Amino acid sequence: MDFIFAISPILVVLIGMLVFSRSGVFMAVSGWLFAGVVAWLYFKTPLPVVIGASVYGVVKALGITLAVAFTMLMIFIMKETGALTEIVKTVNSITTDKVEQTLFIGMGFGSLATSLGVVTPALFPPVFVALGFSPLAAVAIAVLCYDPLTSFALLSIPITLPAKVVWGPFGIRPPGIENVDQFIWAFTQQITIFLPVISVFFAFMMLYFVGGWSAIKKNAIHALTAGLVLSLSAMFLAYTKIVPVEVIGVISGFITMVIVYLFFRKNESSKTKIDVSFLKAISPWLFLFLFSLITNYPPIKKFLANIPGKLEVIPIIANKKVDLNIFASVYFWILIALIVSLPLLNPTKEQLSRAFTTWKNRVWGPFIAYSLFFAVAFVMAWSGMEIINGKLTPGANFQHLNMDIIIGQTLASVFGKFYPLISPFLGLIGAFVGGSETASNVLFAKIQYSAIVATAGASAFLPAYGAHAVGGGIASAITPSKLTNAAALVGLKGKDESQLLKTMIIPVLAITLIVGIILQIIISTM
């Protein structure tokens, strides 16, 4: 019964979305309330601790909620001013047939755009339809565009933010890691180990929706090349550390675009013209890329983090505080990049008004969902804890009352040495339910740690956590919110969405299992 109650908040969200088709926002609220009640009444967690954990989670989530909010505002303004249309027009002008367009836009430009915070299912479907793709293929490729680099989305927040939570509030210390920056890089490197398989797989999936198995057979070399260039360049950047983690996806996507373009060029004298209009259109992304490079240089990042001092440190409960690190956070520089680029985008008052109206109407859903899924994660992580002498500490029966430990130990007991095989599926489920790999990486971090330590030792946590993150990234291919968003843009109905989900779910489960097999091999050789 302990295991059933411990995992019940996750089951509530999963059943609510899959069986009763409730929205992610509704189930985030429901899951949070249910988790709080279960932690309080069943696992004997004092109510102040439950409330404190919830507040802590919401404040800790600001790193992603504000980043998502400001990125949405940026995209809406770019859309209203015609900047996105100009970008897509230029990209389309330098491609030829459907295969090149799929690999250039889907694998290259899609990965680049995703890394900068663009949600490709909300942008690309009309583009592919305009290029002559069927609506079903347009939706499928647009959704798959979000996946080839899994965790390198929105300036790598699915990597950096969970890593900071794992190292800080969760207090997990993998062997050989001395500080949070080392943890971020080690986590990044573990993720890239799986990408050569994942990226190539998604390239083939995209081609399947272009022309079935015949398209795959005819263009296998092209897809293999695009997938390997994308993944191996990310791996190279992760292991050499020559650029910040935040821009790895941007650079890998750009390199893939260049290689695909050169690979398909039959006329060596052909040239692509990049005019002033295009440069103005991408100015928010150029500024964001530049700011990311500068502000993530360690001495500058440390300086920015220390500017406000204690003024940005928020006490939550007992000895638990959150340092907002405003000037060193990506959301601040997303906002600055937008502000600086406004003179170049030159929006009218009407365009700004429409963009802000759209933003106000749409931003609350993601903001609430991210915030409350983080709250659920901390309620579960702090269950069984008490406040003693002004400090939050594990209670006398913490090992038997902590929800994460119970789930982790039960999974370890059931699957034993084969636990790594199913480890990535937790990432898949978490991202499918929460609609976010970041939320999944936070929600399941302590569960993964408990289970993997019990079955393979503490040294296996980083590879397992990397596989978990990859599983969460893969989930974007079947996330209901992304499929629904993309389908609505080209007029597909519920029946078409259902057919698309059925077509994608088997390959997605298969590739997640392959990630588990790779993880099992890695851990068995450690």
More confident residue, 268 or 217: 217
- pLDDT for residue 435: 63
Q: What number of other Cβ atoms are within 10 A of residue 213's Cβ?
A: 10
DSSP collapsed to 3 states, 452-503: HHHHHCHHHHHHHHHHHHHHHHHHHHCCHHHHHHHHHHCCCCHHHHHHHHHH
Q: Roughly what angle, to the nearest 10 degrees, separates helices 135-144 and 494-524?
A: 30
Contact 219, 100 (CB under 8 A): no
User: In sequence order, what are the residues at sequence separation of 6 or more whose Cβ sits closer than 8 angstroms to the Cβ of residue 523?
Assistant: 420, 456, 460, 463, 464
- pLDDT for residue 269: 47
338-361 mean pLDDT: 94
- pLDDT for residue 356: 93
Contact 80, 351 (CB under 8 A): yes
Phi, psi of 259 (to 5 degrees): -65, -45
- pLDDT for residue 85: 85
Enter the pTM of the model.
0.81
Query: Has residue 485 got a pLDDT over 70?
Result: no
More confident residue, 433 or 227: 227
- pLDDT for residue 434: 59
* Strands (E) located in 401-449: none
- pLDDT for residue 267: 46
Query: Has residue 11 got a pLDDT over 80?
Result: yes
Q: What is the pLDDT of residues 158-205, one digit of tens each?
A: 999 899 989 988 889 999 999 999 999 999 999 999 999 999 999 999
Distances in Å between the Cα of 325 and the Cα atoms of 301, 309, 328 are 10, 9, 5
User: In sequence order, what are the residues at sequence separation of 6 or more whose Cβ sits closer than 8 angstroms to the Cβ of residue 167?
Assistant: 173, 179, 180, 183
Residue of 429, 438, 412, 114 whose CA lies nearest to 249: 114
- Greatest Cα-to-Cα distance within the chain, rounded to the nearest angstrom: 75
Distance CA 8, CA 476 (A): 23
Distance CA 136, CA 134 (A): 5
In the chain, the amino acid numbered 6 is A
Distance CA 302, CA 318 (A): 27
Strands 320-323 and 313-317: antiparallel
Alpha helices per DSSP H over 312-416: 330-345, 349-362, 364-382, 398-401, 403-415
498-514 mean pLDDT: 86
Poorest-pLDDT segment among 272-276, 294-298, 506-510 = 272-276
In the chain, the amino acid numbered 341 is S
Distances in Å between the Cα of 289 and the Cα atoms of 128, 244, 245, 345 are 26, 10, 12, 17
Query: Has residue 268 got a pLDDT over 60?
Result: no
Q: What is the pLDDT of residues 49-84, one digit of tens each?
A: 999 999 998 998 888 888 888 888 988 899 899 998
Poorest-pLDDT segment among 118-132, 298-312, 400-414, 476-490 = 476-490
Tokens of 173: 């210390």
**Count of CA atoms in the C-beta half-sphere (13 A) of 173:** 4
Task: Give the pLDDT band of residue 239 (cuts 50, 70, 90).
Answer: very high
Query: Has residue 296 got a pLDDT over 90?
Result: no
Poorest-pLDDT segment among 15-24, 267-276, 414-423, 483-492 = 267-276
Distance CA 444, CA 85 (A): 39
Element (H, E) at 187: helix 180-218
User: In sequence order, what are the residues at sequence separation of 6 or more whose Cβ sits closer than 8 angstroms to the Cβ of residue 152?
Assistant: 111, 114, 115, 158, 159, 234, 248, 249, 252
Tokens of 124: 């690309």
Q: What is the pLDDT of residues 119-155, one digit of tens each?
A: 788 778 877 887 788 888 888 898 899 889 999 988 8
Contact 2, 28 (CB under 8 A): no
Q: What number of other Cβ atoms are within 10 A of residue 31's Cβ?
A: 29
Distance CA 13, CA 34 (A): 10
CA dihedral 509, 514, 516, 521 (to 10 degrees): 170
More confident residue, 35 or 95: 35
More confident residue, 119 or 107: 107
Q: What is the mean pLDDT of the chain?
A: 87
Q: What is the pLDDT of residues 364-406, one digit of tens each?
A: 877 887 788 888 888 988 999 999 988 888 888 888 898 888 8
Q: What number of other Cβ atoms are within 10 A of residue 175's Cβ?
A: 10
Q: What number of other Cβ atoms are within 10 A of residue 150's Cβ?
A: 32
Q: In 3-state terms, what secondary structure has residue 251? A: helix
Task: Give the pLDDT band of residue 471 (cuts 50, 70, 90).
Answer: very high
Distance CA 471, CA 426 (A): 7
- pLDDT for residue 216: 92
Contact 328, 164 (CB under 8 A): no
Distances in Å between the Cα of 135 and the Cα atoms of 121, 219, 302, 354, 489 are 12, 22, 48, 27, 9
